[in-house]
Amino acid sequence: MSKKLVSIYIEGRKIKVPEGYTVIEALWDTGHDIKRGVGCLSGLCGACAIAYLEKGSKRVRFGLGCQTIVKEGMNITVMPFFPSRTANYIISEMGKPIEKLREIYPELDTCKNCGFCTIACPEWINVSKVMKLLKEGKYEEATEMMLDCILCGLCASRCPYGIAPQFISLFVQRAISHEKPFPENLKKRLKEIEEMKYDEEWGRILQMSDEELVEFCKRIREEA
């Protein structure tokens, strides 16, 4: 492993760490006892959001600490959490939850589509477009775009109006899925189980000797 060191600033403190480290590794290396800002270490859980300024750059950037490699002169702060408003609701007890969208999240319409949220997203989601689609009632399309959202909260941290796009879209995702017609294939299978279609066979399976079970499973798989 390379021994070359780079100088970086972590939460304002200048410190040297080996080249090639991620921000999380640099934090470990410098004795930070981080629990808040670490999770899957695969860029999926959203716990390690960071803001950083690269040497010579005029713009603060955002990313994930486990996926960002430190560079000479980089200035970094960890943002494991940003206060965002979440509404209260029980989806399964709402008749048509999507109709309640504006009651639950009235701030949706205060969005001016300035695009700051999009710039912050480490998952490269066009959050601003998602918000536009939500305002226009194009819920399916918006939900599709937000499947990649890891709830890191960076979009909300940049919103000048204090909106939390990640939670508004999550409500919409749940609301429209809840309202979809119940799938026929699942309905059929549940009915079969309810009518105890398989119970007799289960009874036999539980009684079989080990050898019989091996034979049985082999046969079932060959029949298919």
Partner 1 sequence: MYSENLLENMELVEKTRESREKQQLPILNEKKKEKLLSSFHPDYRLSGFRALRVGVNRGDRTVHEIADLLEAFSSFDYREINFEKPDLETDVLVLGGGGAGITAALFAHSAGAKVILATKLRLGNSNTIMALGGMQASVSENDSPIRHFADTMVAGKFQGRRELVKAMVDDGPSIVKWLLDLGVNFDRDEKGNLLTKKAGGSIAPRILSIGDYTGLNIIKILKDEIRNRPEIEILEFAPAVELTTNEFGECNGAILFDLERKRFVLVKAKSVILATGGSGRLHIQGFQTSNNFGATGDAIVLAYRAGAKLEGLDSFQYHPTGIVYPDHMVGVLVTEAIRSLGAHLVNSKGERFINELETRDVVAAAMIKECEEGKGIKTPSGRVGVWLDTPVIEERYGKGFLKKKFPALFRMFMRVKINIEKQPLLVYPTLHYQNGGILIDEKGETTVKNLFVAGEAAGGIHGKNRLMGNSLLDIFVFGRRAGLAAARRKYNEPGKQTLSHLERYYQELKSLRITTVAKTPRIFQEYIVGD
Please say which residue, 40 or 99, places its beta carbon nearer to partner 1: 40
8 counts as binding partner 1 under rule CB under 8 A: no
82 counts as binding partner 1 under rule CB under 8 A: no
Give the residue, chosen from 10, 22, 49, 165, that forms a contact with partner 1 under the rule CB under 8 A: 22
Restricting to residues 56-75, name those near partner 1 by CB under 8 A: 66-67, 69
Place of tokens 């999550």: 170
Q: What is the DSSP string of the chain?
A: ----EEEEEETTEEEEEETT-BHHHHHHHTT---STT-S-SSS-S-TTEEEEE-TT-SS-EEEETTT-B--TT-EEEE-S----------GGG-SSGGGGHHHH-GGGGG-----HHHHH-TT---HHHHHHHHHTT-HHHHHHHHTT-----HHHHH-TT---HHHHHHHHHHHHHHHSPPPHHHHHHHHHHHTTTTHHHHHHHHH--HHHHHHHHHHHHHH-
Please say which residue, 15 or 44, places its beta carbon nearer to partner 1: 44
213 counts as binding partner 1 under rule CB under 8 A: yes
- Site stretch for partner 1 (CB under 8 A), options 36-44, 110-118, 129-137, 153-161: 36-44
**Shortest spacing between CB 75 and partner 1, in angstroms:** 20
Binding mask 87-126 for partner 1 (x = CB under 8 A): -xxxxx------------------------------xx--
Restricting to residues 140-179, name those near partner 1 by CB under 8 A: 143, 147-151, 167, 170-171, 173-178
**Shortest spacing between CB 78 and partner 1, in angstroms:** 13
- Site stretch for partner 1 (CB under 8 A), options 51-59, 112-120, 153-161, 205-213: 205-213
